């Protein structure tokens, strides 16, 4: 089950690791766009933009459809649910880890206090 998602996470996090692609996603969240429109907005050749769109498509984050000579790009069916869940789960482990440390610190404080009060006797 965990294994199943591995490849998906590789490609989706990989897709998100580029500023241009994150920008394209945000742009497409506003409105669908052609390759030409995206290429202009991000100051890049058509070919370059097409590659980025390809990466996003592979990751399942974008779908495209060609009508006539125009290929229109839209947000894909996946909305980063699993990725959000992975990060959320990690954040829980992460904070549990720090709570644990906090507990240790608390424990030390308590011992210190006890020692001090013992000395004071």
Partner DNA sequence: CCTATACTGAACCACATGGTTCAGTACTAC
Partner DNA sequence: GTAGTACTGAACCATGTGGTTCAGTATAGG
> What is the per-residue binding string for its own copies in 85-114, x denoting contact by CB under 8 A?
-xxx-xx-xxxxx-----------------
In 7-116 the beta strands, taken as DSSP E runs, fall at: 33-34, 62-67, 70-75
How would you list the strands of the sheet with 62-67, edge to edge? 33-34, 70-75, 62-67
Beta bridge partners of 66: 71
* Site membership for DNA, residue 20 (CB under 7 A): yes
75 three-state secondary structure = strand
* Site membership for its own copies, residue 69 (CB under 8 A): no
Number of residues that bind DNA (CB under 7 A): 24
Separation between Cα atoms, residue 83 and residue 9, nearest integer Å: 7
20 binds, among its own copies, DNA, none (CB under 5 to 8 A by kind): DNA
Q: 90 φ, ψ to 5°?
A: -60, -45
Smallest separation, CB 68 to its own copies (Å): 22
> What is the per-residue binding string for DNA in 33-62, x denoting contact by CB under 7 A?
-xxx--x----xxxxx-xxx--x-------
For strands 70-75 and 33-34, give the pairing. antiparallel
Smallest separation, CB 76 to DNA (Å): 16
The residues of the shown chain that bind its own copies, judged by CB under 8 A, are 6, 9-11, 13-14, 16-19, 22, 25-26, 29-30, 75, 79-81, 83-84, 86-88, 90-91, 93-97
């Amino acid at each position: 089950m965990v294994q199943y998602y591995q490849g998906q996470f590789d490609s989706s996090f990989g897709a998100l690791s580029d500023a241009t692609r994150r920008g394209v996603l945000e742009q497409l969240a506003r409105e669908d766009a052609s390759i030409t429109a995206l290429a202009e907005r991000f100051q890049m050749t058509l070919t370059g933009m097409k590659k980025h769109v390809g990466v996003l498509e592979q990751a399942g984050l974008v779908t495209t459809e060609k009508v006539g000579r125009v290929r229109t790009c839209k947000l894909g069916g996946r909305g980063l649910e699993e990725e959000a869940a992975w990060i959320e789960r990690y954040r829980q482990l992460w904070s549990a880890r720090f709570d644990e440390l906090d507990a240790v610190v608390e424990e030390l404080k308590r011992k210190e206090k006890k020692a001090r009060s013992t000395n004071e006797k």
